[in-house]
Structure 1
Amino acid sequence: MKKYKSFLWLLVAIIAFSACNNNEDYSEPPVEGEPVLTLKSQISSAMFGDSLSFAVNATDAKFPLSTLKAQLFFGENKVSETVIRTKTNGDYSGKIFIPYLANIPNGSATLKLVLQNTHFAVTEQEVSVQLVRPDYDQLTLVTADGKEYSMARTGLYQYKVTGDFPQKVKAYIKTPKASAQGNVITFGWGNGAITQGTVSPITFSNATAGTYDITFNTMTYVGSPFIKLLFGGTEMTMVDDNNYKVEKDLTTGQLLEVSGFSNFDQWWIDSDFFSKDASGKLKFLPLSGKYRITANFKYNYFIVERMTGNNLATLADDLSGAVWVIGTDIGKPSLANEVGWNTDKALCMAAIAPGKYQITVVAGKGTAGNVNPDGINFKFFHQKGWGGEFGEGTITSNSTDIVVIAGGGNLALATGKKLTAGKTYLFTLDVTGGKKAAVLTVTEK
């Protein structure tokens, strides 16, 4: 019994000792010392885009110093920071960048200097800085081929250059240094808009090539010209140099007016989705729903993709949504833009009735058609990407010319068969029997 009691007392002592050690391990270190910060430079005003210089004397009589931070605040927001290591007492100097941002008016900012020693003691000092947006005498437009054009000041923050330009001009804009502490500010394209701090080219675009103005405002970042493309009364937004898009609800039979396209009479119109009348209006043909329409200027055609909410549609369990085509020997508007096995280029079939989808193709090579008359190798998918698909056992073909290849479900021409160059073929996929019982019909028109 004595041995048992002795063991219990020993266990209690070990637990108590461990608890004491844990308390010591997690205690916060003491804050000690008295860092002293003295500003030695005169700071009262600066320009947006400046590298603002500062100089201080930093000391602590008891403990070594650690860091000096210079922080710039626009209101409550910290917009810039510089950190300097300060091991010993003495004088320190540095620079902090004053951001050049859109739509920020002249006003007061706060420069906060924070000195800390190795024992976590901190002292702070704040200085009010009056900031002014520079109004440059001129800007420079730099094109992708290295040519430079002077943009004259035409008003407060407003600049313009007039020249004989191609229909599209890829360029960025740069400023001169506004002061001895100033920096060259560049304006380029980023996140779908003109922004500062990049030389990624902006694609200015006019209705036609010739003499026209390129303008830019250094306060609002508004530039011109940009083609204003309207599709069904809605302005299309720029995706990249060659693509503009709009996402909107469309109804079967709806007439859509298209404007802003200088060569619209030369555009290829996808007969699965639209018919075009004599006035140039497009009649929408598939089932009503939300669609993404992308105007592609490389090949002069509209990419039409069905949507569900804010995402591209997939083939739903109720067989609504979309079916997509991926593979070789097919493309729109021609085989010059072949899909291949690049899922980003998957073709959306037109939904013509609940559970029925179609794609119309013309046999021909290169730009003469959009399906290879000598051989095909593509298949149908449930989404624009890998995943659900119509493979062997889930799709049958009613055509004697188009067969489903065993083992994969890819479509191919039957042995000894070819498509007739110049002829139009309608591929219709009927999934009303379910995702595992699709039926393909191919009709020569």
Structure 2
Amino acid sequence: MNRIIFFLSLLFPVFFTLSCEEDEEVTGLPELILNSEITEAHFGDSIPFAAKVRDAENVPLSTLKAQLYFGDEMVQETVIRTKKEGEYTGKIFVPFLKDVPNGTATLKFVLQNIKFAIEEQSVAVDLLRPDYPALIFVTEDEEYQMIRTDLYQYKVTANFPQKVKGYIKTPVLDEHGNVITFGWENGGVTHESDNPITFSNYAAGEYDITFNTLTYEASPFITLEFAGEEMIMVDDNNYKVEVELQQNQVVEVEGVPDMDQWWIDPDFFQGNEDGTFTFLPVAGKYRVIANFEHNYFIVEAMAGDELATLQEDGSGALWIIGTDIGKPSLSNEVGWNTDKALCMAQFAPKKYRVTVVGGESVNATAINFKFFHQKGWGGEYKNDNLTTESEVVFVGDGTNGRDPGNLGLVEGVTLTEGTVYRFEVDITAGKEKAVLTVTELQE
């Protein structure tokens, strides 16, 4: 009982205070006189304003707010603390937004005193999209002038590499204007960013870079197609597509410049004389990434909208994480970075393989990688569920020089430089009875 009385005694003062605040009388008579003629501005401007403020009943003032409305939506606000009566000045920024045409906005001024009495005044402002005489394309080494070719449309023509990075900025039109920058964010061009945009052409040389300050449409970006599906740009060096593929399906790749210089993964593709490729693994959904840093296609098995994992019956996907292996070469070693895990090709149901070259894509003198059930930490193969009779590679057990499941080269054995080796994992007997074979392929 005493605990209840103590608890209620804490609550009563709170209720009393709230009640007083709710019943507090709004008093005072704020007065606001605008000293600025604001009738027109550009998107991207900082509109200056000045106002004389006072309270006719001498109630201390609190704030003067300048609020910009597009229709019923407030898009910008400037708040000034008004400690005493007098003249106050400030600026309010007009947002530069995509696809917004010329129109009329409302600039509202709200003066409030400390007793919550307010005075409001509104002004209609005609907003115009700037028609810049030129833009500037800024790269790491140089600035290029983009000439105006039409309303809101600009271009620069110059000798560029096949890929060129830079952002675009505007000049300042007048004393109220600001520099607006356009860069790359979240898969597209946007304002108030100077992150480089990676423009790309099918070949180096003279070509146009264009930009529209209304729609933010920009060019050129190479269009890549894999098996008839357009690939989406992930970042500067990667384009991806997620597609259903059939075993032995003939795949066409379009839009990749210098395709003859790309490394073609023999676990997933066989090159054909007509420039097409035959897809080698079992049918299913795959994520294919065109990687321009190392010039090859990364292929990863999927299950629905997620990357595939190894199932109890041995189907799904098998992944490699560890050192001394990489595609297309050891310069892109997987290491213990799960983001770089290699998806093995399922060349037959529940049978997986990876093909490597001694001294090129696999270390010829030592290896230390293992097989995982997913692209990441979690399920993995150890010596209790992975066996091998290979005379080249052994499975670590924690006492033989390798952690459980990690692969190593048999003592006294090295791989031959330039020789092709194929690691195959057979899981047809079930997930807990995987068998590894290592074969030296003869040319």
TM-score by length of 1: 0.91
Which of residues 301, 315, 319 is equivalent to 2:296?
Answer: 301
Which of residues 14, 19, 23 is equivalent to 2:15?
Answer: 23
Which of residues 147, 153, 168 is equivalent to 1:152?
Answer: 147
Aligned position for 2:165: 170
Aligned position for 1:83: 79
Q: Percent identity?
A: 58
- How many residues were matched structurally? 432
Which of residues 291, 302, 318 is equivalent to 1:323?
Answer: 318
Distance 2:335 2:396 in 1: 17
Question: CA contact under 8 A between 2:53 and 2:85: conserved in structure 1?
Answer: yes
Task: Tell me: CA distance 1:12–1:225, structure 2 relative to 1, closer, same or farther (3 Å).
Answer: closer
Residue 436 in 1 paired to residue 432 in 2? yes
Q: How does 1:20-99 map to 2 (within 5 A)?
A: 20-27=12-19, 29=21, 30-33=24-27, 34-60=29-55, 61-99=57-95
**Equivalent position amino acid for 2:140 in 1:** A
Residue 346 in 1 paired to residue 337 in 2? no
Deviation at 1:433, TM superposition (A): 3.8
Residue 236 in 1 paired to residue 231 in 2? yes
Residue 356 in 1 paired to residue 347 in 2? no
1:288-328 Cα shifts (integer Å, max 9, x gaps): 22211111112110011112232222223454322111111
1:196-242 Cα shifts (integer Å, max 9, x gaps): 11221111111111111111111111111111111112221222222
Residue 385 in 1 paired to residue 376 in 2? yes
In terms of mean alpha carbon deviation, does 23-32 or 354-363 score higher? 23-32
Aligned position for 1:4: none
Which of residues 415, 418, 422 is equivalent to 1:422?
Answer: 418
**Equivalent position amino acid for 2:386 in 1:** I
Where 1:388 maps in the other structure, the secondary structure is coil
Deviation at 1:418, TM superposition (A): 1.5
Which of residues 247, 254, 260 is equivalent to 1:252?
Answer: 247
Deviation at 1:19, TM superposition (A): 6.5
Residue 136 in 1 paired to residue 128 in 2? no
Task: Tell me: CA distance 1:360–1:47, structure 2 relative to 1, closer, same or farther (3 Å).
Answer: same
Aligned position for 2:183: 188
1:131-176 Cα shifts (integer Å, max 9, x gaps): 110111111111111x111111111111111112222211111111
Distance 2:25 2:254 in 1: 69
Question: CA contact under 8 A between 1:165 and 1:209: conserved in structure 2?
Answer: yes
Question: CA contact under 8 A between 1:246 and 1:293: conserved in structure 2?
Answer: yes
**Equivalent position amino acid for 2:80 in 1:** I
**Equivalent position amino acid for 1:353 in 2:** A
TM-score by length of 2: 0.92
Deviation at 1:22, TM superposition (A): 4.4
Distance 2:10 2:294 in 1: 75
**Equivalent position amino acid for 2:16 in 1:** E
Question: CA contact under 8 A between 1:31 and 1:121: conserved in structure 2?
Answer: no
Which of residues 376, 380, 393 is equivalent to 1:402?
Answer: 393
Aligned position for 2:361: 370
In terms of mean alpha carbon deviation, does 30-39 or 297-306 score higher? 30-39
Question: CA contact under 8 A between 1:144 and 1:201: conserved in structure 2?
Answer: no
Distance 1:46 1:320 in 2: 64
Deviation at 1:17, TM superposition (A): 6.8
Question: CA contact under 8 A between 2:313 and 2:428: conserved in structure 1?
Answer: no
Task: Tell me: CA distance 1:17–1:152, structure 2 relative to 1, closer, same or farther (3 Å).
Answer: closer
1:368-406 Cα shifts (integer Å, max 9, x gaps): x21112111111112212222112323222312111112
Distance 2:300 2:172 in 1: 47
Structure 1 gaps of 5+ residues are 1-7
